[in-house]
Structure 1
C-alpha cells in the first residue's frame, strides 16, 4: 500500500530504538578499500583517481543483501564512506566515489554511478552477496544519482543490466528536477526549477523498482526539496507504481536527516528482502 508519512521526532526516536534492538550485532566484517570499478585499460587520470569503491561485508554469512551508497556534496565535493548507522547490521555496504564538477561535467558523475552499480551486480557474489538483493541509496547528490541510475534505464543498459533488477531505490533528500550543479554548469539560474533529460522526473515510469523517498522537514530542508520528492511520488503513483513511499522527517534539516534516514533504510529493506 502506498503511504505518505510525516514523522515527529519522538516517534522516530522510538523507531530507532526498535530497529537497533532488532539489528544483528555479532557479525564479523571485512572492509576492502579503493577497489577500481572501471576498466583496467582506462587512461583518464581523473577517472583513475576517483572511480573507486569500498566494500564492507559480513564474513560469517552468505547470500547477504547489499546497499550501494552514494555520498552527498552537491556533485562538487564529498568522499566515499560507510555510514556508521549501516554498519554491523548483517548487510554489505558499498561506498562509491565518482567524478565531481567542475573538473568533470555532466553526465560524467551519473555514468560513474551506473558503472559502479554494474560492478556490484557482476562482483558481489564473489564476496558472498546475493546479486538479486542490491539496493541503491545515498544522501543529497547521492540521492539524485540513485534516482537517475534507477529511473533512466539507458545508463545500466550500457552494461547489459536492467535497472528493474535493482531491489529498491532509497534516495535521501535527492533532487528530482535537474540537479542545480548541472544548471550551474550551463549558466542557468539555480533557483528556478528545470526539468530535462537529466531530471529523474523525466524518466518516471510504471515499472520502477520499489522506492522509498526520504526528505527532511519541508520547513527546514533545502528550497523545494520536499516538494520535488512529493512531485515524483505523485507522478509515480499516477503511472501505476504500487510500491512508492514518501517520508518527511519532521524536525530534521537537510544535513541532519542523513542519520535517521539510514535507520529507515534498515527498516525498509528488512521488509522488502527475500532473505527474511
Structure 2
C-alpha cells in the first residue's frame, strides 16, 4: 500500500512538472487543478483608491450564517504577487466553510515600509465592515499570511498602531496564522528586501518580534523545517518562544517535506499530502485557544 501511495504521489508530481513545462507558472498549474464548485467568488472589490488596493472574497457554497472569516496576505518579498494567483488558497479555506478574503497591497518600488501594513489594515477594516454581506461573522475574524504576507499578518496582530489607524484593535481578531513568516530578520541579508526597509537604517520597530505583548491574539505558526529562505529557528520558533513567555496561546509546527514555497502550496488539493497544513489551520480556527 505504501508503495502504491508513493507511486501515485510521484505520478501526480510528475504531472504537475509536465504542466509547468508547458509555459505555465506553478501557481497557474495549481489554480488550473483547483475546482470552482465549492465557492462563489466576488472579485475586484476596492478597499481604497489605488489599483493595488483590491480584494477578492470566496464564500463557501455550504456556508452557514456567521461563518468564520480569514483575511489572507500572500508573500513575494513585498515586491511581487497578485491575489489572482491564490485562488487555490481561497478554495481550500472555502471548502472547509471559511469565508476567505485574499487582498492585494501596494508593493516596492511604489511604496516601502510601512505602507503595505496600512493597506493591510484597510483591507481588514473593509472586511470587518462588509463581510456580513457575504455570510461571514466579523466577530470571528482571523488573519493569515505566507512569507512576507505572514509578516504583514503578524504586524497587524501584534503592533496595535496599524489597526488603530482604521478604528480597530488586535483585540478585534480571534487569532492569526503565519506560514514561513519572517518575524525577526535584522540585519537584512536579502538584497531584494533591503530597500523595502530602508537598509542599512532599517527600524527595529519594523520587526514583529519586538511587538509581543500579553494581550496579543492567539496564533498558529507553521514552517518548513528545512526552509533555506526564512530561518525557521530564528523566526518561527523565536517568535513562538516570546509569545509563550508573554502568556499568549501559540502553537508552532514544523514539517520536513515542504519547502518555503511549497508550504503554502500544500493548501492546494494536488499537494496536500506534503503536509497537513490545511487541517491544522482549520483546526485552529474551529478550536482557537483562549487566554
Say whether the fold is shared (TM-score over 0.5): yes
Structure richer in helix, relative to its length: 2
* 1:249-260 → structure 2 map (5 Å cutoff): 249-258=255-264, 259=266, 260=275
Equivalent pairs, count: 237
Q: How much does 1:61 deviate?
A: 2.1
Rounded Cα–Cα distance in structure 1 between residues aligned with 2:154 and 2:148? 10
Post-superposition CA distance 1:111-149 (Å, at most 9, x none): 101110111111111222111111110110110000000
Rounded Cα–Cα distance in structure 1 between residues aligned with 2:58 and 2:230? 34
Q: Quick one: which of 48, 61, 64 aligns to 2:64?
A: 61
Q: Quickly say closer, same or farther: Cα 1:202–1:250, change in 2 above 3 A.
A: same
In the alignment, is residue 173 of structure 1 matched against residue 180 of structure 2? yes
Is the partner of 1:255 in helix, strand or coil?
Answer: helix
Tell me which residue corresponds to 1:102: 109
Rounded Cα–Cα distance in structure 2 between residues aligned with 1:65 and 1:223? 29
CA contact 1:54–1:95 (8 Å) conserved in 2: yes
In the alignment, is residue 244 of structure 1 matched against residue 250 of structure 2? yes
* 1:1-276 → structure 2 map (5 Å cutoff): 29-38=39-48, 42=49, 48-58=50-60, 60-80=63-83, 81-82=86-87, 83=89, 84-178=91-185, 180=188, 183-185=194-196, 186-188=198-200, 196-217=204-225, 219-241=226-248, 243-258=249-264, 259=266, 260=275, 261-272=277-288
Cα RMSD between the aligned structures? 2.6
Rounded Cα–Cα distance in structure 2 between residues aligned with 1:168 and 1:175? 18
Q: How much does 1:221 deviate?
A: 3.6
Post-superposition CA distance 1:200-244 (Å, at most 9, x none): 011110111110111101x33425233211111111111222x11
Q: How much does 1:158 deviate?
A: 1.1
- Listed as ranges, the gaps of 5+ residues in structure 2 are 1-5, 10-34, 267-274
**Greater mean deviation of Cα atoms: 148-157 or 224-233:** 224-233
Rounded Cα–Cα distance in structure 2 between residues aligned with 1:220 and 1:127? 36
- Listed as ranges, the gaps of 5+ residues in structure 1 are 1-9, 14-24, 43-47
Is the partner of 1:257 in helix, strand or coil?
Answer: helix
User: So what's the TM-score if we normalise by structure 2?
Assistant: 0.75
Is the partner of 1:114 in helix, strand or coil?
Answer: helix
User: So what's the TM-score if we normalise by structure 1?
Assistant: 0.78
